[in-house]
Amino acid sequence: MIGGPQGGDADLIKESTSASFMQDVIETSKNIPVIVDFWAPWCEPCKQLGPMLEKLVRQAGGLVRMVKVNIDENQELAAQMRIQSIPMVYAFSQGQPVDGFQGAQPESQLKEFIGRLTGGAKNPVDAALEEANALLDSGDVEGASAVFAQVLGHDAVNGAAIAGLIRCATATGEYEHAREIVDGLTPELQKNTAVTAAIAGLELAEQSGAQDDSIIDELAAKLETDPSNHQLRFDLAVSLFGVGQNDAAIEALIEIVRRDRAWNDDAARAQLLKIFEALGHIDPATIEGRRQLSAVLFS
């Protein structure tokens, strides 16, 4: 199952003791920043913070190291570092502590913390994801899939890479394979924002099926003679989205909401929300579509 427990990378993340702290942290930090996580098995916030830090350190692709110190087993070291409450995290560079924080932190702040240590250098995972998305957008599905797979080889729970593979399978019409990827995810990963967007895109693709201009022309012609037929307009929207005419699909669905917002148990609005999720919140079509939908709903 994708998203299950995964082993740590010994080169990037390691346990340390009072005896090895000097080498693991002080000496190593003279060449590369080292994050030190002081924790204990009984500390509940530590159980949340530690794995999140480990994930981000792996994603940094070698720009930073992480050392974990169990304070119960290294009480003298904890006293020397004046650890009074855990989780306590210090960052070392050039043999000296240069940053730190106490208590659990949201992932966004942890990314900023690591970013300060790495001088804002783009980590290899982010660079690879940018490359893969660019390949997919240009139509090179095979190339994109290969890069997404490489990212997952480095970080098996990377939601953006998993979403990328789902999108690749969807783009080539391999819906069953895309479903296999989704079904193999942990519940937590299925809630990942990028993954939910990819799943929404898959569901829309499955719904629209194979489409071409002749089908769209036929539906549009029927709608001209029967403009109050909401099912016809809905089917047209599905077909339009299936061939990439996102703006036109959104416009058709908003017209249904304008004419009868409760039609078919609010089906048009639900379809709009799924399209917005699939396109992403910052897509221009989503932004404009949400604006138009709000204008209709609150007019």
pLDDT digit string, tens, across residues 210-221? 777 789 999 999
Listed range (45-59, 72-86, 178-192, 205-219) with the worst mean pLDDT: 205-219
Compute the average pLDDT of residues 199-223.
90
Compute the average pLDDT of residues 177-194.
95
Q: Do 232 and 273 lie in a common domain? A: yes
Statement: residue 155 has pLDDT above 70 = yes
Instruction: Provide the pLDDT for residue 7.
Output: 44
Q: Do 28 and 113 lie in a common domain? A: yes
Instruction: Provide the pLDDT for residue 5.
Output: 45
Domain extent for 264: 213-297
Q: Residue 17: CB partners within 8 Å, gap ≥ 6?
A: 69, 73, 74, 77
Which CATH number characterizes residue 52's domain? 3.40.30.10
Q: At what angle do helices 44-59 and 107-117 cross, to 10 degrees?
A: 50
Q: With cut-offs at 50, 70 and 90, classify the pLDDT of residue 10.
A: low
What is the chain's mean pLDDT, rounded?
Answer: 92
Locate 211 and state its tokens. Answer: 């489409």
Residue in 153, 165, 154 with CA at minimum distance from that of residue 57: 154
Statement: residue 2 has pLDDT above 60 = no
Q: Do 172 and 82 lie in a common domain? A: no
Domain boundary among 207, 230, 258: 207
Instruction: Provide the pLDDT for residue 121.
Output: 65
Cα 144–146–151 angle (5° rounding)? Answer: 95
Compute the average pLDDT of residues 153-167.
92
Q: Are strands 65-70 and 13-15 parallel, antiparallel or unpaired?
A: parallel
Q: Do 235 and 183 lie in a common domain? A: no
Catalytic positions: 43, 46
Q: Do 137 and 86 lie in a common domain? A: no
Compute the average pLDDT of residues 272-281.
95
Instruction: Provide the pLDDT for residue 86.
Output: 95
Q: With cut-offs at 50, 70 and 90, classify the pLDDT of residue 252.
A: very high
Domain membership flag for residue 83: yes
* pLDDT tens-digit readout, 46-55: 999 999 999 9
Q: Is the pTM of this model over 0.85?
A: no
Compute the average pLDDT of residues 22-35.
95
Statement: residue 259 has pLDDT above 80 = yes
User: 223 and 236 in contact (C-beta within 8 Å)?
Assistant: yes
Q: Do 19 and 101 lie in a common domain? A: yes
Q: Do 87 and 39 lie in a common domain? A: yes
Which CATH number characterizes residue 279's domain? 1.25.40.10
Return contacts of 258-263, CB within 8 angstroms, 24+ apart. 258/296, 259/228, 259/230, 260/230, 261/296, 261/297, 263/230
If you write DSSP's letter for every residue of 119-150 in order, what string do you get? Answer: TTPPPHHHHHHHHHHHHHHTT-HHHHHHHHHH
Listed range (59-63, 78-82, 295-299) with the worst mean pLDDT: 59-63
Instruction: Provide the pLDDT for residue 6.
Output: 47
Give the whole-number percent of the chain exceeding pLDDT 70. Answer: 96
Domain membership flag for residue 7: no
Compute the average pLDDT of residues 170-197.
95
Statement: residue 9 has pLDDT above 90 = no
* pLDDT tens-digit readout, 100-140: 999 999 999 999 999 899 886 667 788 899 999 999 999 99
Domain membership flag for residue 281: yes
How many domains are contained in the chain? 3
